[in-house]
Amino acid sequence: MRFIDRVKIRIESGAGGNGCVSFRREKHVPRGGPDGGDGGCGGDIIIQTDTSLSTLIDYRYKREYKASAGRPGKGSKMSGRDADPVILRVPPGTVIFDAQSSEIVADLTEGEVTVAKGGGGGNGNARFATASRQAPRIAGEGRAGEEKELILELKLIADAGIVGLPNSGKSTLISRISAARPKIADYPFTTLVPNLGVVRMGEFSSFVVADVPGLVEGAHKGTGLGHQFLRHVERTSVLLHLVGLAPTDEDPVEAYRTVRDELEAYAQGLAQKESIVALNKSDLVSDEERTSILKKFRDELGFEPYIISAATGEGLNEVVGKLYEMIKAIKD
């Protein structure tokens, strides 16, 4: 299934029902007064989170949603029936924008929001009766519903996000530390959709990790998978910068700088998230090369990264434990 994380839809809430013009007609009551009832309210459009959903793919095939109108009023002061709301279900983490103004309508991590209110029903002629006008033959019309164009944008909710250049080993890593089974291959852009995995830390402890599409230079401008990657990093609590050490990978220090620069360019504060750096594919380099790379990180960046191998499992427990500690500290 293709991952869909941004769609444009058109919505229209229901119009209110018209009020009724009616007069009381009963046996032995020769001069019955007005008894027209009010019209019912039109249906609302409600967007509601659903934890069973993970994409917006349903809205790719159907993009227009219209609620029913309220029923008209009846005699004997009977109000028309209110129309049922139309409920649109979305994954938690969906941000709703007004397509015209680009303003955020709602940021749904849970619950629901009414995005278009149904029109009110018109008054029946019973409401227009006065001492000087005892037999009004007028009734109110139902008010129109609201028409809007909305943009739905999904931002995954995960505790930790794995960031790195294409082919740095993110998919292999998430498959080793969680039950997620993403597509894995030895070429760039294997990951075309975000993958979520639950990392178990004992019987009652766990955290959610996201393996999202790899970055390239210029991603903040939309190059490569661009914003499709970066928007999913915004909600994570911590970041794991994964850097590949294979002979075909970019220089490790430069690879880390590229990713960090893209995070800084995309959103203010994104690069300031709590993070750790792990050098992956340690099984493909010699001890001398490891020592040289670590020294370069210390000299140029002022810190020493973790050394891991997602293929052999080297160093994974230490990195996962550190991520859990950081997430727990933030949540506490």
Homologous superfamily, domain 160-331: P-loop containing nucleotide triphosphate hydrolases (3.40.50.300)
Q: Do domains 1-154 and 160-331 have the same CATH topology?
A: no
* Higher pLDDT pick, 306 / 237: 306
Domain boundaries, the chain: 1-154, 160-331
Q: How confident is the model at residue 199 (pLDDT cuts 50, 70, 90)?
A: confident
Which pLDDT tens digit goes with each residue over 132-164? 888 899 999 999 999 999 999 887 778 898 888
Architecture of domain 1-154: Distorted Sandwich (2.70)
User: According to the 3-state scheme, what is the secondary structure of 139-206?
Assistant: CCCCCCCCEEEEEEEECCCCCEEEECCCCCCHHHHHHHHCCCCCCCCCCCCCCCCCEEEEEECCCCCE
CA angle 176, 181, 186 (to 5 degrees): 80
Contact 306, 318 (CB under 8 A): yes
Average pLDDT, stretch 17-35? Answer: 82
Q: Which pLDDT belongs to residue 182?
A: 46
Q: Which pLDDT belongs to residue 100?
A: 92
pTM comes to 0.66
Q: How far apart are CA 135 and CA 34, in angstroms?
A: 6
Contact 19, 37 (CB under 8 A): yes
Average pLDDT, stretch 247-270? Answer: 84
Q: If we measure between CA atoms, which residue out of 122, 125, 114, 111 comes closest to residue 150? A: 114
Q: How far apart are CA 81 and CA 14, in angstroms?
A: 12
Residue type, 84: D
Which pLDDT tens digit goes with each residue over 65-92? 999 999 999 999 999 999 999 999 998 8
Q: How far apart are CA 211 and CA 207, in angstroms?
A: 13
Average pLDDT, stretch 254-264? Answer: 87
Which pLDDT tens digit goes with each residue over 286-324? 999 999 999 999 999 999 999 999 999 999 999 999 999
